[in-house]
């Protein structure tokens, strides 16, 4: 099947400079709230792109689990490929694909570990099966079969039967402090609206530029 002609028109709306908040954090919160209120499946899903020690990129989808003026938070096994790549290079980019709203948001910034207290607080809110899965899965390591993973899960069930499941020491989180934001709104005739927020001349200020689509 040819994909040459696989396309659609973007008719959801447009984005003007006057409509943008001066703060990219406020603008992102506005769009995030609208995405959560929409029919989008997994509106907090984002692609995280990282670099290894040789500068080779990789990406994967994770769920955004915290957002404020300090940045974007996600959690993972600290032995995972993504954690190893962040250790090699803290430069990270994020992408939110809100296609049902004809919107995308890109973010570039620096990742750093969240505090252990934040990890423990968040881990305590997870469903019990998710907590057990964090213990059972040594993320990114090779498995001989799915049965091996299921056996590890059963072993963790037995280990913590009747008690709370604490956050593993090998499980944690990262906060991406943004340096650049980009907001994209699909437009008719492929004349999309695209705005980038860049650091302004004074600390905490932002400069907004419109980019050709």
Phi first, then psi: give them for residue 145, nearest 5 degrees.
-165, 170
d(CA 103, CA 84): 31
Task: Determine the angle formed by the axes of helices 128-136 and 146-159, rounding to 10 degrees.
Answer: 120
Q: Quick one: CA dihedral 119, 168, 64, 51, positive or negative?
A: positive
Phi first, then psi: give them for residue 98, nearest 5 degrees.
-90, 65
Helix (H, G, I), strand (E, B) or coil at 182: strand
- Is 190 one of the catalytic residues? yes
Q: Looking at 60, 190, 207, 210, which residue is catalytic? A: 190
Active-site positions? 190
């Amino acid at each position: 099947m040819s994909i040459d002609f696989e396309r659609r028109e973007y008719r959801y709306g447009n984005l003007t400079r006057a409509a943008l908040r001066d703060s990219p954090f406020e603008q992102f919160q506005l769009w995030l709230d609208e995405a959560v209120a929409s029919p989008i499946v997994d509106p907090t899903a984002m692609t995280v792109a990282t670099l290894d020690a040789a500068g080779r990129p990789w990406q994967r989808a994770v769920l955004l689990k915290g957002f404020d003026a300090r940045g974007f938070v996600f959690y993972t096994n600290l032995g995972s490929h993504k954690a190893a790549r962040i250790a090699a290079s803290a430069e990270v980019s994020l992408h939110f694909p809100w296609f049902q709203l004809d919107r995308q948001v890109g973010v570039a910034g620096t990742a750093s570990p969240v505090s252990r207290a934040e990890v423990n607080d968040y881990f305590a809110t997870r469903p019990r099966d998710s907590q057990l899965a964090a213990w059972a899965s040594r993320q990114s390591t090779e498995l001989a079969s799915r049965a091996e993973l299921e056996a590890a899960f059963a072993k963790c069930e037995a280990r913590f039967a009747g008690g709370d499941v604490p956050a593993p020491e090998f499980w944690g989180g990262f906060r991406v402090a943004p340096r650049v934001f980009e907001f994209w709104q699909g437009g008719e005739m492929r004349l999309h609206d695209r705005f980038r927020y860049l650091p302004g001349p004074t600390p905490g200020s932002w400069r907004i530029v419109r980019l050709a689509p």
